[in-house]
Chain A
């Protein structure tokens, strides 16, 4: 099972900072989050920066980015600033 780490509001919504989830790719992991923590958590996770083993899913294959059993998937809120 992959290690999934939540940051910011998603950690509040899921009630944990880290957990183990199944899923062969990002999309499957998102399904698991929605199933376990509800639609709002699922929606917020989808809108986050998603990192698989420290690489941005946006720069890889998006929601189809593969997730291995030893992978770490992180969900970081999108922020702005300067």
Chain B
């Protein structure tokens, strides 16, 4: 078995050293966010300022990167979350991860602070640090253009240099968007990391792997979700159904439906703006939208950006959303956190609680606001701290739409209560993917499930959180998990008996789903094409991977992240949502259109094997092979 090789780089003095991950850690955590969380916990003390030189930034791949497995180009950034103070992982589909691996490293552990603006150059097993003052102030596109062409690049824009707390990092046109990865790089005077090499990934069973990959690609291309709707509409296709289901956040999450939703829908985007679809390296799904902004062919907005820069700020100008999306990518900012913070600031301003120079009646002014935030200038520059910090200064905690400090994604959870539980319990804060993405089952997908009942939601949330955590750890795109939903259901249609029975059946399976983790990984000692990920990992790495072990990697990772959060001072009280979502019904005639967190959280903790305070029990940690945290 070939073990992952990492490099520890001290940016302060330019020293670096190679280290090999042990076989035990590799088998337990694979790589990506799971191994990142383990390493961050082990290698840093509690209580660090996330933007201090002592803070650590781990940029790593998973074992599947560069193997040619479908949708496996995702790399990860792990660090102390700038917005929440807990764990942060931010995932990106750009080409950097693949080139890092070709350069001879599975991951980089970066600490310290360079004396001047610098870049880390990784080339054929060697690392050097070079000053790059000439790149200061350049946007992410110009920065990458100035760097040598054949290298994989990971860069920040002006927002990262200026310490915007939700600044992102970019690789190609893809970004590691959430939690402030760009701010961490900026705090270390790190403008870029570039990598080049020619190393080939050695697979344990090359022939078996190729055969399995062919079969899996065929399955993805044949599946109605990954082979038709995602390539056709991208995630943007969710706008219409989200609106119909009442989960399209509108006017800072006051409503879940927007009267002009069709102006910003995926269908309108496809009909009027789409130039072509595209995708990440090695991905057969090709969900990326390409659009024109001022005559230039650029990456189009995802559903999140459409929802949050559209209905949530009451803007129905699709051209403007495309331009805002591109502008955020250039300046290096997370569209979810930025748009969420703008919506919150608009409401503060409307209520006379603050003045940020916003002009809600002039949507075009958003372009100026976005720039002011990136450069932290003028009254709007104050938004660079994010919703939580803003609410601590100006009030409005009940309508500051975040969890733990991270702004919520574009799903209004009062009409998808399992999604609400996911937001509240996600280790990195208000994230739909880290949260288990139950909206796909409850409100926007093919399965017809009762979106308001709290019953069964904790069990399903844990199941999907663990599954997606494992996929991410291996380097797979989470969209590959959507093919787990049997394709036959799409042929019957969401109104069919089969899809309605599937929704009811999943909720009815809660006694089994609630207990299954006690018996993992032995409960699923097999590999099959329902979850092709595990066999792919086994064939590529030689690890004795099964579906049970795969899900256990996810569960282990979720617990390590939780322990990190607890160590950094977060508690069960932080598994919360703003009052608007838990106390005020979305539909005043239906009292059940709130997120009943108080009913779901105790069950969620129990299913996870945590105590009533949300602390993992020694028994569950022992079961997962996680060392007990040190006292104090």
Give chain A's interface residues, CB within 8 Å of chain B. 7-9, 11, 26, 46-51, 54, 56-59, 62-63, 65, 74, 76-82
Which residues of chain B (200-241) have a CB below 8 Å from chain A?
224-226, 229-230, 232-238, 240-241
B75 interface hit (Cβ, 8 Å): no
Which residues on the B side are within 8 Å of A49 (C-beta)? 241, 244, 494-495
A58, B267: Cβ atoms under 8 Å? no
B245 and A56 contact, CB distance less than 8 A:
yes
With an 8 Å Cβ cutoff, the count of chain B residues facing the other chain is 48
**Complex formed: what's the CA distance from A11 to B432 in Å?**
30
A81-B302, A82-B478 are contacts. A56–B237 as well, Cβ < 8 Å?
no
Chain A residues with Cβ under 8 A from B497's Cβ?
A: 62
**Inter-subunit contact B493/A82 (CB<8 Å):** no
Partner of B241, one of A9, A11, A76: A76
In the complex, the answer to whether B494 meets A7 with C-beta atoms within 8 Å is no
Q: Judging by beta carbons under 8 Å apart, are A80 and B241 in contact?
A: no
A82 touches B490 (CB 8 A): no
- Do A76 and B491 touch across chains, with their CB atoms under 8 A apart? no
Instruction: Choose from A58, A81, A82 the contact partner of B494 (Cβ within 8 Å).
Output: A58
Check A77 against B229 for contact (C-beta < 8 Å): yes
**Contact, CB under 8 Å: A62 / B240:** no
Is there an interface contact between A79 and B241, defined as CB atoms closer than 8 Å? yes
Given A7-B240, A82-B479, check contact A77 B233 (CB 8 Å): yes
Q: Which residue of A lies closest to B409 (CB)?
A: A82
Min CB–CB distance B224 → chain A (angstroms): 7
With A79-B241, A80-B229 as given contacts, are A57 and B270 in contact (CB-CB < 8 Å)? no
Closest to B494 in A: A58
Query: CA of A56 to CA of B452 in the docked complex: distance in angstroms?
Result: 14
Contact A81 B234 (CB under 8 A): yes
CB distance from A53 to the nearest CB of B (A): 11
Q: A9-B232, A78-B446, A81-B230 are in contact. Are A57 and B241 (CB under 8 A)?
A: no
Residues of A within 8 A of B233 (CB): 8, 77, 79
Nearest CB in chain B: distance from A31 CB, A: 14
Given A58-B495, A78-B446, A81-B303, 10 more A-B residue pairs with CB atoms under 8 Å apart are A7-B240, A47-B491, A59-B451, A65-B495, A77-B232, A79-B241, A80-B237, A80-B445, A81-B236, A82-B433
A8 to B228, CA, bound (A): 12
* Residue-wise interface mask of B (427-459) relative to A, using a CB-CB cutoff of 8 A (1 in contact, 0 not): 000001100010010001110101100000000
B65 interface residue (CB < 8 Å to A): no
Contacts A/B (CB < 8 Å), 18 sampled: A7-B240, A7-B265, A47-B491, A48-B494, A49-B244, A50-B493, A51-B244, A56-B448, A59-B450, A63-B495, A76-B240, A77-B229, A77-B233, A79-B233, A80-B225, A80-B444, A81-B235, A82-B235
